[in-house]
Amino acid sequence: MKIGFYHTCVMDWDIDRTFSWAGQNGFAGIELHGGPRYKHVNWHEIAKGNGVSAILAAQEHYGVPVTGLMFGAIPFLSPDPLERERALQEIDVLLRAAKQIGAPVVSTFTGRNPLKTLEENIDLYEKAFTPIAEQAEACGIKLAFENCPMYEFWPPVYNIAVSPVIWREMFARVPSAALGLNFDPSHLVWQGIDYAKAVKDFGDRIFIAQAKDTEVLPHVLREEGMLTCRWWRHRIPGHGDVDWGKFITALHEIGYSEILSIEHEDPIWSGTEEKVEQGLLHAKKHLERFI
């Protein structure tokens, strides 16, 4: 297992600067954002094979591979048929782009129809992702669902892949070996879910693991209750309530040997480029104690 990072915290940087900084600071992989917010790469062109050389060259020159592409906000289960068609086009682009640049995993959310129940959304998921899984298999790319509930946004349109009981049903409905998880323990902490047990229960489905912490804020919880989702905040590893020794031990126990990808959303270590860099390096130093 080695440490990398998800690059949304430095999306102002171009490809060369991103990979250069990662290599100089001992990171072993980069998870790239695969959506339109990253202005330095046109993923639609990459999917066609255009402009691929810069990414391939950066990986080789700096010795830092692309460990995956991540774009969550794709409306796979939208009530709007035009949105669903756009989602199919978007995932097609990401799968083909990943193959072009040698990225083994594409991560996303499932989407969610806010007008329907969870059970109805699982039915929609089965219908949508059966052909998508076949496409991923044909491309030789793994498709991983990040387990972020996105409940702080309204309406809830982003994701149903948020807990072990739902994962179990999802993988039973669409059992393709191409479907798995981008496993982030931070989202399980505030739900009260045992993240170490979940790692062991879904070990064969964890295609990539993210490292983000969650700090519970009891003084806010006492005043606002649970429903506001303001009683916790994301932190860099070591500054929240995730037991990283326990989590990484569980990953070791299932034989996970891929990248542990830091996702930096810490408000304390944000605001300036220097603070973001320091946050990534502090997180890396903390995680290295357990790798």
Kindly report, residue by residue over 17-35, the tens digit of the pLDDT.
999 999 999 999 999 999 9
What pTM was computed for the model? 0.96
pLDDT tens-place string over residues 81-131: 999 999 999 999 999 999 999 999 999 999 999 999 999 999 999 999 999
HSE of 116, CA atoms in CB hemisphere, 13 A = 18
Classify the phi-psi angles of 286: left when phi > 0, otherwise alpha if psi is within -120 to 50, otherwise beta.
Answer: alpha
pLDDT tens-place string over residues 247-269: 999 999 999 999 999 999 999 99
C-alpha to C-alpha distances, 228 to 113, 192, 217, 218, nearest whole angstrom:
21, 16, 12, 13
- The pair of three-digit structure tokens given for residue 76, joined into one six-digit string: 């796979």
pLDDT tens-place string over residues 185-218: 999 999 999 999 999 999 999 999 999 999 999 9
Residue ranges making up the domain that contains 104: 2-287
Residue 154, pLDDT > 90, answer no
CA terminus-to-terminus distance, the chain: 7
pLDDT tens-place string over residues 29-61: 999 999 999 999 999 999 999 999 999 999 999
CA proximity to 264, closest of 251, 254, 273, 252:
273
One-letter amino acid at 88 equals L
Q: How many domains does the chain have?
A: 1
Look at residue 97 and give its three-state secondary structure: helix
CATH of the domain at 168: 3.20.20.150
